[in-house]
Amino acid sequence: SLSNEVRKEVLKKNLNLTRENQIKIANQIRKIHGSNYFAKRVIEKIKNNKCVVTSIRNEQELIEFRKFDDFILLNIIAPVEERFDRIKQRKRYGDPKTLKELKKKEQQEQSDNPANQQLHIITKSADIIINNDSTLEIFEKKINKFLRDWQPKLSKKNGFN
């Protein structure tokens, strides 16, 4: 997760793991090291392994991952009210306490500044959109269907049968 890399940087600075601190520190680091910095860190860790990477929030991060022929960008969507209910259930420190606060924080991730979060650009660039507006069981079925549908295409792309 790119967010895990950001969280490590926030902790190095002895800051609380709030969404605000994560956004602030990630933006500062992107300004210093380049907008693709966190993507490069994750790519170095995963090497050539097949895996799922979450929390791509910047166009340059996406460009880094698009260098891989078998990269697929999924946009998992859900109504904001549903996302807020899930956030409340996970009880992570620094999560928004109200729906209004969540909407405000999500708006902060819609920047046109290349060193900041550009979630609106990422979501528009998705290869596949999966709606996660129901139960976990239904979502898992949707993910399994995606994997069944795309596995043959990815195998051919990489020269495997």
Q: Which residues pair with 75 in a beta bridge?
A: 129
Q: Mind listing the pLDDT tens digit for each residue in 106-147?
A: 998 999 998 899 999 999 999 999 999 999 999 999 999 999
Q: Mind listing the pLDDT tens digit for each residue in 11-35?
A: 999 999 988 899 999 999 999 999 9
Tokens 């859900």 belong to which residue?
78
Per-residue model confidence (pLDDT) at position 154: 73
Q: What's the CA dihedral at 82, 87, 76, 36 to 10 degrees?
A: 150
**Taking all residues of the chain, what is their mean pLDDT, rounded to a whole number?**
91
pLDDT of 158 higher than 70: no
Measured between its terminal Cα atoms, the distance across the chain in Å is: 29
DSSP state of 118: B
Q: Mind listing the pLDDT tens digit for each residue in 22-72?
A: 999 999 999 999 999 999 999 999 877 778 899 899 999 999 999 988 899
pLDDT of 159 higher than 80: no
pLDDT of 160 higher than 50: no
Residues 6+ apart with CB under 8 A from 5: 38, 41, 42
Task: Average the pLDDT over 91-104 and give the result.
Answer: 91
Selected residue with higher pLDDT from 153 and 6: 6
